[in-house]
Amino acid sequence: QVQLVESGGGVVQPGRSLRLSCVASGFSFRSFALHWVRQAPGKGLEWVGVISYDGGNQKYADAVKGRFTLSRDNSKDTVFLQMNSLRVEDTAVYYCARAGEDCSSWCLDYWGQGTLVSVS
């Protein structure tokens, strides 16, 4: 079955960096775009960014553009979110999610369990 497992979260000081990973299994990883979505404590969902199936194209929310970078290693079924110049307002649970199959990539059909990033 499809699984996405995030890791790399933790406590970090403002201005420092952190790299999150999302390991996929149960599907042809190299055929799907992957998104990151975050959720601050007690708040709603916020889309962070997306990386295309081959890693050649990325898009980012304005709130993280220039600070966060997406990459992927299709040989290891893994996508990475490099977060630099972290701010207190980046504190959130970070989810990776697959661009949906039945919806022709227009939706997010599988999500990981999330990893918590705390900037303080």
Partner 1 sequence: DIQMTQSPSSLSASVGDKVTITCRASETIGRFLNWYQQKPGKAPQLLIFGASTLQRGVPSRFSGSGSETDFTLSISSLEPEDFATYYCQQSYSDLRTFGQGTKVEIK
Closest alpha carbon to 92 in 35, 20, 40, 46: 40
Closer CB to partner 1, 8 or 100, in the complex: 100
# of chain residues touching partner 1 (CB under 8 A): 24
Whichever of 13 and 89 has its CB closer to partner 1, that residue is 89
- Asked if 67 is part of the footprint of partner 1 (rule: CB under 8 A), the reply reads no
d(CA 53, CA 19) in angstroms, rounded, equals: 20
62 binds partner 1 (CB under 8 A): yes
Nearest-CA neighbor of 13 among 80, 87, 92?
87
**Residue 100 binds partner 1 (CB under 8 A):** yes
